[in-house]
Amino acid sequence: MNTYIYGVGTSNFGRQPQHTAHTLGWEAVTEALRSAQVDSVDAVYVGTVFGAPGVAQRTVHSLGLTGVPVITIENACASGTSALVEAEAAVASGRYERTLAVGVEHLTNRFRGGLHPELTDADGAAGLALPGTYAMVACRYLHEGRVTERQLAMVAVKNHRHALGNPRAQYSGEYTVEEVAASAMIADPLTLLQCCPISDGAAAAVVGGPRGVKSDIRIRGIALRSGGLWDHRSPHVWGYQLVADTARTAFESAGIEPADVDVVEVHDAFTIGEIVSVDALGLCPSAGAGAATELGETAIGGRIPVNPSGGLLSRGHPLGATGLAQVAEIVVQLQRRAGRRQVDGARIGVVETMGGGVAGIDGNACVVAVLG
């Protein structure tokens, strides 16, 4: 059965200590239900990484959505889009008529006392937190000549500029390449402005079938994969193969080619993340994502605008909410409601979310969705 996104909603993004995960969720869901012109759903899938048990129930019960199944889903940074995958499958299979996918995360309160790695976290003990992992990917790309430090910095310049048009973004601004390069070094070669911030936020989408739909945003294809064991002989950097495989599945099921994509939100937790994702999605087959960024092809107004919302780097990265924030952005773009950051003529949009990683695995999860 064809599935549609009836409506989307988000909270603001940023450090919001006056909020809790479920009050942010309330804002996002309220907006999504209003936009969808519905007041009930048959099941709720809530993506969160560090949300306390019960946060999903608190969110939806405060809206009066009681009695329906509520399922919390964790899939690292792909939790929000993993919730969408399950919400979509439940409608597509006829199990439910209408479902709600929500992502919520409140990192400020959760880690108010500081962020302590799990005692059993071997990766953390080895320094392989995600900034380090992405930095190693950047080094490999630099070494192979697939990107330059200038091009990496230009991703940060572009996304912070895009966010100037997004009133809900956590950060925004006009930076120069030199300013990005001169910001504090976090994990060589990634400087502060090349790393996503700690964010609180929520986002939601109502999914349903063709009956009674008032939206023309169809989920043309959606795929979820978890990574394989890392093969040290791979010619690709960490995560590339997982994104490429997931994208191929989603594109095939949508019946599109990469060249058909008009606008995309990708997982730029770090600047190198955007570069690798765009390459793996096949969006810049000739020059590669690095050169395309330098040529302005991935900016709003360019050939294939990437992260018009400002991306994780600038809109913010509330882990479990991120995937659905990306979805909300693409839906708003396709509905021509994006205001100053509108991508002209956008008919087909893509979301790509890359979920975390533990030692020896090519990513916990990747979700790619094709909307249009």
Residues annotated as catalytic are 77, 317
Asked if residue 283 lies in contact with residue 289, where contact means CB atoms within 8 angstroms, the answer is: yes
Asked if residue 172 lies in contact with residue 313, where contact means CB atoms within 8 angstroms, the answer is: no
**Which member of 14, 58, 191, 330 binds its own copies (CB under 8 A)?**
58
12 in contact with its own copies (CB under 8 A): no
Give residues with Cβ within 8 angstroms of 154, minimum separation 6.
177, 293, 294
361 in contact with its own copies (CB under 8 A): yes
Nearest to 133 by CA among 309, 276, 266, 291: 276
Give residues with Cβ within 8 angstroms of 271, minimum separation 6.
138, 152, 153, 155, 156, 190, 194, 313
Cα separation values, 228 from 96, 241, 364, Å? 32, 9, 9
Q: Choose one: 162-170, 221-229, 276-284, 342-350; the region binding its own copies (CB under 8 A).
A: 221-229
Tell the smallest beta-carbon distance from residue 225 to its own copies (Å): 6
State the Cα–Cα distance between residues 299 and 158, nearest whole angstrom.
6
Name the 3-class secondary structure at 290. helix
Tell the smallest beta-carbon distance from residue 82 to its own copies (Å): 6
Q: Choose one: 64-72, 146-154, 290-298, 304-312; the region binding its own copies (CB under 8 A).
A: 64-72
Tell the smallest beta-carbon distance from residue 69 to its own copies (Å): 5
Tell the smallest beta-carbon distance from residue 172 to its own copies (Å): 29
85 in contact with its own copies (CB under 8 A): yes
Name the 3-class secondary structure at 237. coil
Q: Which residue has the tokens 């910001």?
A: 183
Q: Nearer Cβ to its own copies, position 89 or 182? A: 89
**Which member of 31, 74, 105, 268 binds its own copies (CB under 8 A)?**
74
Asked if residue 205 lies in contact with residue 5, where contact means CB atoms within 8 angstroms, the answer is: yes
State the Cα–Cα distance between residues 22 and 25, nearest whole angstrom.
5
- How many chain residues bind its own copies (CB under 8 A)? 54
Tell the smallest beta-carbon distance from residue 286 to its own copies (Å): 30
Nearest to 300 by CA among 338, 272, 251, 328: 338
Tell the smallest beta-carbon distance from residue 72 to its own copies (Å): 4
Helices marked H in 209-264 — which ranges?
240-254
Q: Nearer Cβ to its own copies, position 229 or 259? A: 229
208 in contact with its own copies (CB under 8 A): no
294 in contact with its own copies (CB under 8 A): no
Tell the smallest beta-carbon distance from residue 14 to its own copies (Å): 18
Q: Residue 283 burial by CB count (10 A; 0-12/13-18/19+): exposed, middle or buried?
A: buried
249 in contact with its own copies (CB under 8 A): no
214 in contact with its own copies (CB under 8 A): no
Asked if residue 206 lies in contact with residue 33, where contact means CB atoms within 8 angstroms, the answer is: yes
Question: What binding mask, one character per residue, do residues 295-334 give for its own copies by CB under 8 A, x or -?
Answer: ----------------------------------------
90 in contact with its own copies (CB under 8 A): yes
State in Å, rounded, how far the first CA of the chain is from the last one: 16
Contacts of its own copies in 103-132 (CB under 8 A): 106, 109-110, 112-113, 118-121
- Residues near its own copies, by CB under 8 A: 20-21, 49, 52-54, 56-58, 60-61, 64, 66-76, 82, 85-86, 89-90, 93-95, 106, 109-110, 112-113, 118-121, 224-229, 245, 356-358, 360-361, 364-365
